[in-house]
Structure formats: structure tokens, C-alpha cells
A and B are shown apart, each in its own frame.
Chain A
Amino acid sequence: MAKNKVLLIGWDAADWKVIHPLIDAGKMPTLKKFISEGVMGNLATLDPPLSPIMWTSIGTGKTADKHGVMGFTQPREDGSGIQPVLSTSRKVKAVWNILMQEGYKSHVIGWWPSHPADPINGVCISNFYHHATGALDDEWKMAQGTVHPPELADVLAELRVHPDELTASHIAPFVPDLEKIDQTKDQRLRSIAKITAEASSMHAAATWIMENQEWDFLAVYYDAIDHYCHGFMKFHPPYREGIPQDLYDFYNGVVESGYRFHDMMLERLLQLAGNDTTVIICSDHGFHPDHLRPLQLPKEPAGPAAEHSPYGMIAMRGPNIKPDELIYGSTLLDITPTVLTLFDLPTARDMDGRPLLQAFKQTPELKVIDSWEDVAGDCGMHAVDAKQDPWLEQEALDQLVALGYIEPPGDNVQKTVENNARESKYYLARVYLSKNAYADALPLLEELFAKYPDQSRFGLRLANVYLNLERIAEARRVTDATIAVSEQSQVQEIKDNFAQEKLEKEKAEPEKSEPKEPKEIPELPDDVTLLEQIRQRNRPTLELLQGNLCLAEENPEMALEHFQKAQTANPRLPDLHISIGHSYLKMQQLQDAEEAFFQGLEIDPDSAAALYGLGMVYLQMRQFNDAAEALMDAVGRIYHNPNAHYFLGEAFYRLGRFEMAAQSWEVAVTQAPGLKKAHKRLVDIYQRHLNEAMKAAQHQQIIKKIVEVPTQASAQTVDTTLESVQAKPGVAPKKLVGIKPEKIITIVSGLPRSGTSMMMQILQAGGMELLTDAKRVADEHNPKGYFELEAIKNLGKDKSCLALAQSKVIKVIAQLLPALDKGYHYRVIFMLRDMQEVLQSQQTMLDKAESESDKLAQTFQQQLHRIQVWLRKQNNIDVIYVKYQDVIQKPLPEIVKLNYFLEGLLDVQKCIEVIDVNLYRARLIVNGS
């Protein structure tokens, strides 16, 4: 590949959701032309979505646990307080360091963090360059270390634009009615001037370097879009309830004008770069411009990051870049590997991203080394003991406080430093969580939760880790404790505010000259009332939390009840429909699950979680094309999702696309090296389909080395005492309240071969009386008998047998349920079993081949759905859904739940004794769900 020039432009927080309408309206003509000549796509962000972390990941191709930049600030080495995060915190080489080492001339402008400027072979201008520190007639000093080489400091200092230099002509494009604003009360015009001046300073420096210096690589970072958005996205159309109308009228064009200004600056950069340069424009995250804008920000450090959306943008144009194409599945970790590939340099195995090869016209030869960190030579990084300018650090700190990204450092130095360490630990834990490295995140979050039990964010993340490690009891304990502490602190906050308000009113009274009726101060409600009010306010989130716990406890029915309450309180709660979908998925109500995931997509069309859920639904429906499409869409949005890649592999496998399946599973194990099931599938596919014995052997070796992350799932089942399980509610009967047990008919139902005979046997052992005629005798397929009643088969025509079934148990296959006599009351125990297992068992029984099984599965699924919908509508029928597999694998909680449903009719111990694991013969070798 010929030597190439690369221009990397960073637009913090740029989002296609804002850009597309502007392009359509002809308001960003330069970017419109740019994308017609190149590729474009979403760029998935990482968690936590904090700019210094993200931009360092963009510049290094590595996640924060490797690169070391862990937030906005860091403690000073001498313990005297905190300072803005510095370039010296970066533990690894950035792409410009690597390029310098390989003889390319690189320039870096404004990257976050880049102070002090790296001593590279080109010009480096730090992120301290553009902040004005005083009035126009004050001297505007520039901190030592802002510009490298230092001899260019004076020339570049002159190019900075001070906010006070700007005039109404600069601000009017943002706020046409600016003269109507009282600037003594409203400082927003000043804020626009500051953001615009700072962007202009960086842009002037970048253009000066392009005009006056040789270069191979130039990276320039603009923070202005993020700042315009944090200040003014609330006023961006469409108008939302609660936003003052006058402010909306003044400021609704600021975000749009900010983007248009960037389009104008882009025109100049492209003019200077020339057509032979490959240009990459990217953002670290997006910024919700629509109904997903949060109404309130979390009261925590870096709370404004809640406004960020998970998709940044990428657009790329150049001599070897495809014109007018979309690219999918990019993450910000891919930028550095892509730049290295553009220079025909190897990427490294210790980088977390990969080159965006789909963007290239001619796919370059991919070279990989273990690590660039081991490559010796001057790369323009700082000596470890580089010293900083404390005066300018303070200015930068003030800026971060003003933006709301960090708490104001208090007078208590020790406390400030401690808070900083706390946040860094929390961010590191979140980095691990985003990589599914739960075992690494666990000790950090346990420490944080123990030390700061009042901070619900730590407790909620810890509960999430426990859930993922299947330590359900601990997840519930931590969630309950977190909710309790959070509620108490909210009560206290209301009391404090009330006391403060009362004090202020009392103080204000004597100052009034004319005597007036004393203003009545409303009574503060008692603690119980306050708590109830708080719970009401928090209801949607609490129900969602409780529901997710139930889901993890394999109790989807109870989960669904919580989710429905959450939905009543807030129908558009983010992620709610995803959880509802997963509940239905667990209950094998696949069409309901599909509908729920579609509702999730209606709220957020870019929801990778909803697309993933749909993929799971279609896999179960055996609609493998649809499954592959949904899962590809999911990983196209959030590429780092090992489970999605794993199931995408399953979909490809079922479609007979073995190469694609292997690729998907390879990605899954790259993203989650300990994902044993994916390694197993790779062993199988390399051996049986792709004839790659070496690769199969490699994965076999890896499987042997994998140490399972300790989970307590099995221990939990064993340790759970009967009493403790019984104390938990199961599925409460809702419709048959007050009906005498002797009037109720208990029905065991489901598809043939879904475990109905086993359930009949369990109920009999548990003490219930069965109604059977023993006409169908035991055989090899049901060695313990069928427990059927011949007359039931004729239920459509003759319902008289039901009269005998009151207070007893009968078996009725699912398809016959709608023929039940409406004059009776029924409790239905509906058996669920993996459809493939059901079919396999049926085919074995009928001695048939599996050729028709796909069509049959679809038909059965549709029938089941119709019957389940019908059941829901019947006022004389209560239903519990029981998974065959669960009864076999963890009988105790399942039977306890069943007994709760049957209002204690069973002898649980005797029920468990008859469960014969050996009957579970048609088990799936590959678990597709």
C-alpha cells in the first residue's frame, strides 16, 4: 500500500440523529459530500461514557483498564489535592507515538487528555490551550507544557480566540433574538461565546499547522458539540413539557448552529488536507436529541453523562475507502487499529479494537504483532516524573466543575482525594463490567458498597454483578439494602429541605415593614407517609429492579407482574420492554416476547438489547434467517456483545453457513475468552464441518485451561431450605379466590412429550388424586405410565367426564383446553419444554426422521401462543407455567412454587422423591436458548 496521509477529526458527542435531518435540509453540505465519497456508520461507545476515557481509548485502541486514564481528575502525587487528568496518566502508547516510532510525522491538537504536550516529532498542543482565564484586557498566559515544541508556543498562543473578542455577529447565528436577552440575569450568551471561541482556537491551531508544517498524521479534537449539547439540547426541537417557552424560543437553534459551524470548519480542514488524505471524523458517544433526553440528571459525579447516547458517529473518506457505503459494528476502539492499517503498519494483539476492513476498497493485508509497547525506540512519550503547572490545572478544574462533570473540590483535601479515588475505582469497575469481566469488577464494587452504602449506584451495580455470577440471594440482599438506604436518605433530604425552607421563611418575616397575616407553613408529613410518597415516585424503577431479580430467579411470571406495575407507572421506562420480552421468552410465549421487543424498538429504534432479544425469539421460533438478521443488527450497533455473537453463530449454523458461524463464535471468544460454550461449538464445527483439525485442537486446549468463574447457583439450590423458599411468594392465584378446593379441577397440560406424565406422577406422589382410566399402559417411552383418561380425547363433543374431575387432577393436552366446559373452575399446570426436545421426543416415539421438524415447530409455537392468549382471557382458569427442565434440574424451588399455586395441597418432599432425572433423555446437546 502506498504511503498515506491521515487526518483524524474528533467531534465530541456528534450524533447522526442530529446530523441526518440537517444534511437532509441542506444545512451540512460539506459533511453531505464527505459521506457520499466515503463510508459512514455508528461508532459504539464504551462504559463509562466519559470523554477523557473515551478519547484515550480512541487514541490507543485499548480499554481504560489498560490505558490508565480513569476519569476527569486524578490525585496529585504529593497528596495536596486533585488535578485534571494528564497525559502522563496514559500508561500506553497512543497512535501518534507509534507513528513517530515508525518515522511518520505526527501532530496532535487538543486531545483529551494531552497536557503536558507529548514531545513527539511534530507539534502537540495540549487540551489546556484554549481555555481563556480572564477578561480581554488581562494577560492571557499559556501554561508551560501546552505546546510542543516550546519554540512554537508564542506563534500558537497568538492564534487563540478569547470569548470577549466575539461580537453579536458571531453569536447571532446561534441566537437570532440575542438583543432581547437580559445578560445580567441570563449568562447563556456568554456560554455560547466561550464554547465558540474555544473551538475556534483549536481550529486555528490545526489549520496553522496544516498550512505551515509537513505532516503524515494529524489528529484534532473539538469539544464544542458536547458543550453546546450539554447547555442547549434541552431547548432543541421538539419542544418538551417543562421547558420555559421563552428560553426555548431564544435557544432552540443553538445545537443546530453548533453543528453547522463544525461543517464550515470541516470544509477548511478538507481543503487543507487535499484529496489524497484519508480523513476520519468520529465521536466518542452520541447525545440524545429526542424523547430519550433525560428529564432529570442523576445526582452523582459525572451525572451529565446520562445525556449521552451509546452511539457515536464515524465517517471516513480517502483513496482506498469505499464511496457511499454504510459500515456496521464499529467501536471507538477500532480507530487506532484502522489508522495503523492505513499506514500499512501492524495492529497489536493487546489492542481491544480491530481495523475497519469493511471500509476499504481493497482489503489490506492484515498484520498483527503482540504489542507495540515492547517495540523499542523514542516514541515521544513523557518521562514518568514530568512536572505540571499547578496554576493552569486549577483553571481546567474550574471548567470541569462548571460543566458539572466533577464535584467542586471542597476545603477538605483528604476528602477530595478520597472522593477522587472512589470515582476512579467505580469507573474501573464499570470498565470491567462492560467487558463482562464480572470477577474483576466484584471486589471493587464490594469494597465501594461496604464503604459507601448510601450510594445506591454502587449497590445497584454490585447487585448486577451478583446476578451475572448467579449469586441471586446476594443480589437480592444488596438490592433490598440499597433501596432501603436510598429511601431513608430521600426522607432525610426532604426533612432537611423542609427545615431549611422553614428557617428562611421565619427569618424573612420580621423584615417586612407592614404587618401581614403570618404565612402558613404546611405540615411535614410523618415518616410513613413520606416513605410511601417516595416509593410512589420511585415505583417504576423499583418494580423494574424487583422484576429483574425475579427474572434472574427463574420466576418470569412474578417478574412480569412487577414489570406490568412498572409499565402502569411509566409506560416508556427505558429497558422495561426488554425485560418484559425476556420474561415472555423464559415463559416461551414467543409472540408476546416478540411484541415486547418491538415495543422496545419503538421507544429506541437503535436499541441493541431489543434487537438481541428479537434474535433470541426468532432462534426459538426456528426462524433462523430472521434470527441472524436481528442479531447482526444488534452487533452492528453494539459490537462488544459476546452472547450476541455466540447466538449469531447458532443462527448461521442452523442455516448451514458454517464459515460464518465459526467467525461469529471466534468473535465471541475474542470478546469473552472464557466463553466455554463458544469454544465447544468451535471444536465441533472445525472437526465436523470445516475440516480444520488444528483449530479444533487449539480450542480443545483452551477449554481445558478455562477456569470457571465461581458462581453459587448450584450451592444456592442445595443450601436453600424448604422454609426459606416457602417464605417467598410463588405465583398467586388471581381468579379463583373464594372457590372451594373440591369445586376446582386441576389440569396438567402442555404439548405431548413436554413432561405432562411426569407432572401427573409428581402430583400423585404429593397426595393429589388423579382421574385416569389406566387404559394406556406404561411403555418404553413412558416407563411409569401415561396417567390419561380416554374420555378426554372426545372433550370437544362430550364434556361429561369433567363432572368426575372436580377436586382431582386430569391430563388434557394443550390443543384441547379451549374445549373445556365454562361451567367449572380450573387450575392449569402448563408444562413447557424446549421445542426441539419435544419434537425429538415425539419423533423418537413415532420412529420418524426429523425432516419435518422445523415446520412442525412453527405450527406448535403458533398453537401454543393462541392457547396461552386464550387462557389469559378466561376468568375461571388460573395457570402456572412450569419448565420441564427446571423441575428436573432444581426440583425444590419448582415444587415449592407449584405448591404455592395449589394452595399447599402437596407434600413437597414426596413430590421431589419421584422426580427421575434419567427420564430426561431427549436433552439438547447444544442449548439454543
Chain B
Amino acid sequence: MINNIPNESLKLISPDGEKMDIPPEGMLGLLALGAVGIKAWRQARKKAGEPSHWYTKPSEEEEKNG
């Protein structure tokens, strides 16, 4: 079961009522949640040391800072 609370504090609750971590590999249910699900999944990926999402061109400031 996925319990969505806005402002990116998304929690996954198992059928037994246990809180679950968002898996970095993602799940279809997160995609079905739309914007909040995708953001939460990408955060979990970042936390796991994987690229958060597809390549975006860095801003000029980011490029300057290396």
C-alpha cells in the first residue's frame, strides 16, 4: 500500500502496516502516483548512490564549480 503525503514525505506502508523504504530500483506503484512518486523514487536512487535521473545539462554555476 502506498500512502501519499504531499511535500515529498512519501511513505510506503506494507500490508501489515509496517513502514517500508522506497526501493531505489523503483516500482510501478510509484510511477502511478505521478509527480510525487517519481520525485520520491529519484530521491531514493540518489540516496543509494545512483544517478538520480536522466542526464541534464549542468547550469553555468554548476559547471564553474566543477
The interface of chain A, by Cβ under 8 A from chain B, is 132, 136-140, 158-162, 164-170, 173, 196, 200, 203-208, 211, 261, 264-265, 267-268, 271
A164 to B45, CA, bound (A): 14
Is A268's CB under 8 angstroms from B25's CB? Answer: no
17 CB-based A-B contacts, threshold 8 Å: A136-B55, A137-B54, A137-B55, A138-B55, A139-B55, A158-B56, A161-B31, A161-B38, A165-B54, A173-B28, A204-B37, A204-B38, A207-B35, A207-B36, A208-B34, A211-B36, A265-B32
Residue of A164, A170, A208 with highest tally of chain B CB at under 10 A: A170
The interface of chain B, by Cβ under 8 A from chain A, is 4, 6, 23, 25-29, 31-38, 51, 53-57
Shortest CB-to-CB span from B5 to chain A, Å, is 12
A99 to B13, CA, bound (A): 41
Shortest CB-to-CB span from A281 to chain B, Å, is 15
Is B27's CB under 8 angstroms from A170's CB? Answer: yes
Contact of B32 among A139, A159, A167, A261 (CB under 8 A): A261
A136 to B33, CA, bound (A): 22
Q: A136-B54, A136-B55, A165-B54 are in contact. Are A204 and B25 (CB under 8 A)?
A: no
**Residue on A with the closest CB to B45?**
A165
Shortest CB-to-CB span from A843 to chain B, Å, is 70
Contact of A268 among B27, B33, B51 (CB under 8 A): B33
Please name all residues of chain B whose beta carbon is closer than 8 Å to the beta carbon of A140 when the two chains form the complex: 54-56
Is B25's CB under 8 angstroms from A167's CB? Answer: yes
Residue of B29, B32, B38 with highest tally of chain A CB at under 10 A: B32
**Residue on B with the closest CB to A167?**
B25
A132 to B37, CA, bound (A): 20
Shortest CB-to-CB span from B29 to chain A, Å, is 6
Is A169's CB under 8 angstroms from B25's CB? Answer: yes
**Residue on A with the closest CB to B34?**
A207
Is B35's CB under 8 angstroms from A211's CB? Answer: yes
Q: A137-B55, A139-B55 are in contact. Are A265 and B26 (CB under 8 A)?
A: no
Is B38's CB under 8 angstroms from A159's CB? Answer: yes
Q: In the complex, given contacts A136-B55, A261-B31, what are 8 additional A-B residue pairs having Cβ atoms less than 8 angstroms apart? A: A158-B53, A165-B53, A167-B26, A196-B28, A200-B38, A206-B34, A211-B36, A265-B32
Is A196's CB under 8 angstroms from B31's CB? Answer: yes
Is A264's CB under 8 angstroms from B54's CB? Answer: no
Please name all residues of chain B whose beta carbon is closer than 8 Å to the beta carbon of A267 when the two chains form the complex: 32
Is B35's CB under 8 angstroms from A208's CB? Answer: yes
A658 to B35, CA, bound (A): 56
Q: A169-B25, A170-B26, A173-B28 are in contact. Are A203 and B34 (CB under 8 A)?
A: yes
A158 to B43, CA, bound (A): 13
Please name all residues of chain A whose beta carbon is closer than 8 Å to the beta carbon of B29 when the two chains form the complex: 264
If over half of B's interface residues share one DSSP class (helix, strand or loop), that class is named, otherwise mixed; here it is: loop
Residue of B35, B36, B53 with highest tally of chain A CB at under 10 A: B35
A204 to B28, CA, bound (A): 13
Please name all residues of chain A whose beta carbon is closer than 8 Å to the beta carbon of B54 when the two chains form the complex: 132, 136-137, 140, 160, 162, 164-165
Please name all residues of chain A whose beta carbon is closer than 8 Å to the beta carbon of B55 when the two chains form the complex: 136-140
**Residue on B with the closest CB to A138?**
B55
Is A203's CB under 8 angstroms from B36's CB? Answer: no
Is A169's CB under 8 angstroms from B23's CB? Answer: yes
Is A204's CB under 8 angstroms from B35's CB? Answer: yes
Q: A136-B54, A139-B56 are in contact. Are A268 and B32 (CB under 8 A)?
A: yes
A206 to B54, CA, bound (A): 20
Shortest CB-to-CB span from B11 to chain A, Å, is 15
Contact of A159 among B4, B33, B35, B56 (CB under 8 A): B35
**Residue on A with the closest CB to B39?**
A159
Please name all residues of chain A whose beta carbon is closer than 8 Å to the beta carbon of B31 when the two chains form the complex: 161, 170, 196, 200, 203, 261
Please name all residues of chain A whose beta carbon is closer than 8 Å to the beta carbon of B36 when the two chains form the complex: 207, 211
**Residue on B with the closest CB to A200?**
B31
Please name all residues of chain B whose beta carbon is closer than 8 Å to the beta carbon of A271 when the two chains form the complex: 4
A139 to B58, CA, bound (A): 10
Residue of B29, B34, B56 with highest tally of chain A CB at under 10 A: B34
A589 to B44, CA, bound (A): 72
Please name all residues of chain A whose beta carbon is closer than 8 Å to the beta carbon of B27 when the two chains form the complex: 169-170
**Residue on B with the closest CB to A132?**
B54
Please name all residues of chain B whose beta carbon is closer than 8 Å to the beta carbon of A211 when the two chains form the complex: 6, 35-36
A136 to B55, CA, bound (A): 6
Shortest CB-to-CB span from A1 to chain B, Å, is 30
Please name all residues of chain A whose beta carbon is closer than 8 Å to the beta carbon of B35 when the two chains form the complex: 159, 204-205, 207-208, 211
Please name all residues of chain A whose beta carbon is closer than 8 Å to the beta carbon of B34 when the two chains form the complex: 203-204, 206-208, 265, 268
A161 to B31, CA, bound (A): 9
Interface pairs A-B: 10 shortest CB-CB: A207-B34, A264-B32, A208-B35, A162-B54, A200-B31, A167-B25, A204-B35, A169-B25, A265-B32, A207-B35
A265 to B34, CA, bound (A): 8
Please name all residues of chain A whose beta carbon is closer than 8 Å to the beta carbon of B32 when the two chains form the complex: 203, 261, 264-265, 267-268
Please name all residues of chain A whose beta carbon is closer than 8 Å to the beta carbon of B4 when the two chains form the complex: 268, 271
Please name all residues of chain B whose beta carbon is closer than 8 Å to the beta carbon of A169 when the two chains form the complex: 23, 25-28
Shortest CB-to-CB span from B48 to chain A, Å, is 12
Contact of B33 among A158, A161, A170, A207 (CB under 8 A): A207
**Residue on A with the closest CB to B32?**
A264
A136 to B23, CA, bound (A): 20
A180 to B23, CA, bound (A): 23
Please name all residues of chain A whose beta carbon is closer than 8 Å to the beta carbon of B53 when the two chains form the complex: 158, 162, 165
A271 to B6, CA, bound (A): 12
A669 to B38, CA, bound (A): 52
Please name all residues of chain B whose beta carbon is closer than 8 Å to the beta carbon of A158 when the two chains form the complex: 53, 56
Shortest CB-to-CB span from B6 to chain A, Å, is 7
Shortest CB-to-CB span from B57 to chain A, Å, is 5
Please name all residues of chain B whose beta carbon is closer than 8 Å to the beta carbon of A168 when the two chains form the complex: 25
Shortest CB-to-CB span from A194 to chain B, Å, is 13
**Residue on B with the closest CB to A207?**
B34
Is B57's CB under 8 angstroms from A139's CB? Answer: yes
**Residue on B with the closest CB to A201?**
B38
Please name all residues of chain A whose beta carbon is closer than 8 Å to the beta carbon of B33 when the two chains form the complex: 207, 268
A208 to B33, CA, bound (A): 10
A267 to B2, CA, bound (A): 11
Please name all residues of chain B whose beta carbon is closer than 8 Å to the beta carbon of A268 when the two chains form the complex: 4, 32-34
A140 to B31, CA, bound (A): 19
**Residue on B with the closest CB to A263?**
B32
Shortest CB-to-CB span from A138 to chain B, Å, is 6
Please name all residues of chain B whose beta carbon is closer than 8 Å to the beta carbon of A265 when the two chains form the complex: 32, 34
A887 to B18, CA, bound (A): 85
Shortest CB-to-CB span from A210 to chain B, Å, is 8
Contact of B28 among A138, A162, A170, A207 (CB under 8 A): A170
A168 to B31, CA, bound (A): 14
Please name all residues of chain A whose beta carbon is closer than 8 Å to the beta carbon of B25 when the two chains form the complex: 167-169
A715 to B3, CA, bound (A): 75
Please name all residues of chain B whose beta carbon is closer than 8 Å to the beta carbon of A200 when the two chains form the complex: 31, 38
**Residue on B with the closest CB to A264?**
B32
